[in-house]
Every structure is written in C-alpha cells, then in structure tokens.
Amino acid sequence: MVNLVALESPAQLAAELAAAVQYRGRKASREGSEQRRQAILEAALRIVVREGLRGVRHRAVAAEADVPLSATTYYFKDIGDLIADSFALFVQRSAAKLAALWAGVDEDFQRISAAIEQNPAARCDMAAHIIDLTVEHVQSKVRSHDDELLVELAFRQEALTNPELRALALAHQSLRFRFAERALRAIGSGAPFEDAQVLTTLILRMEYHAVVDGVDDFDLEAQRAVLQRFLDLVIGQ
C-alpha cells in the first residue's frame, strides 16, 4: 500500500501557505485601520474582476472602497504594492478555503488506498471520488459568479512579468498539483508526478471554460467525462 501518511498533506500545505502570506504595504496599527486596509484590497480585487489590472488605480480604488484617496496612498504608496497585496489577500483566502475543502481528504485517500490493496477493482471508486472532489472545487468557483476565477487568471498573467509575484503564484499553483499527485498515488498511478501534471492541466482547462462559456452555458458533465476518460487511462480501464 502507498504510504500516504509519510507524504505532505495538501490540506496542511494549503493552511501553511495561508498563514505564511506576507504583505508589502504599510501595516495597520489598529483594528479599524486593518478593516479599512482590507476594504481597499477587496475593492481592488473587484476592479480586477470588472476591468482587469488596467483599472487598478489609487483614485478608482478609493472610490470603489468609499474611502478618501489619502487612505489608499497611506497604506500603498506604490500601485505595485497595492496590486501585490490584493493578490496576497486572494491567495491567503483561497489557500484557507482549499485547506477547509481538503480537510479529511487524507483519511479518505488512506482508506481507499487500503481498499485498493485488498481489491484492485476499488480503484474505480477512488477515480469517482477524485472526480467528485474536482467538480466540487470548480463548482464552488462557478457559484461565486466567476469572480475568483477571473482574479486567479489575472494573478497568473501578472506573475509572468512581475518577479515579485512569481513565487507566490507558484506556491498557490503548487497546491492543486500536490493534491493531484497525492490522489493519483493513492489510486495506484505508475507515474503520479507526470499524471498529476496532466490532471492539473485538465482542471485549469475546466476553469478556463467556466469563465469563457459562462455559468449558464458551462457544460459540467462534458468536463466530468474528460476527467473520467483520463482516470480510466490511469487505472487501465
């Protein structure tokens, strides 16, 4: 049986990333100040969703957050700091959400891995479980009216040309890869590292279609069928 206990838990990795996120702007000294700083960052993220990064300017963010312009320039003297901290807030919240979503998944993987050891046919149950978890993840993003997906896409694009964001983007991206790798090890993949890269790419493709097709036209069952086909190949069905 695969020793999953010795591997790092995806939920723990996500929780650690959420706790390790660092901000570049001025720190708030009082509770009320912290609420205002967060309101500014949330306003910047809403602008990213509506207009993209080009819309993130001090004056526009101040108006969106309903705070004086002096408040945004106090916490974020440079627009780059405002953008970086907005994405830092996104990563912190996203990682915390993933940690909650994945809580207990290790026990599930360990249980099903043990069942596979006794009965290889149980791999089909594990494949179905992975698909359900993946679909639940994408559905949770779709239900949020694509806001999280749009922010994440903007974040990845910005990280391509912003070295200061790259490490954070890679750490956030690695969470889903580690989850996929652990799941595929449990299912008995002969090449879990390589298969995890394919599965991660398929999930990114699902999210892309969720944005492009729109909530009403997003064919979740068709995407589920693609995942099923891939996992059938992994388990030799």
**pLDDT tens for each residue of 30-50:** 767 889 999 999 999 999 999
The number of angstroms, rounded, from the C-alpha of 47 to the middle of its chain's C-alpha atoms is 20
Its pTM stands at 0.84
pLDDT < 50 regions, the chain: 1-6
Q: Which numeric CATH code is attached to 4-20+102-235? A: 1.10.357.10
Structure tokens at 134: 């993946």
Distance separating the N- and C-terminal Cα atoms of the chain = 20
pLDDT value at residue 213: 81
Alpha carbons 110 and 107: distance in angstroms, whole number: 5
Q: Which amino acid is at 152?
A: E
As a whole number of Å, the CA-based R_g of the chain is 20
pLDDT value at residue 2: 46
Nearest C-alpha neighbor of 4 from the set 122, 110, 143: 110
Alpha carbons 157 and 12: distance in angstroms, whole number: 27
Indicate the helix (H) or strand (E) that contains 108: helix 105-118
Q: What is the pLDDT of residues 170-216, one digit of tens each?
A: 999 999 899 899 889 888 899 999 999 999 999 988 888 887 887 77
Residue 173 CB neighbour total at 10 angstroms: 15
Alpha carbons 39 and 64: distance in angstroms, whole number: 9
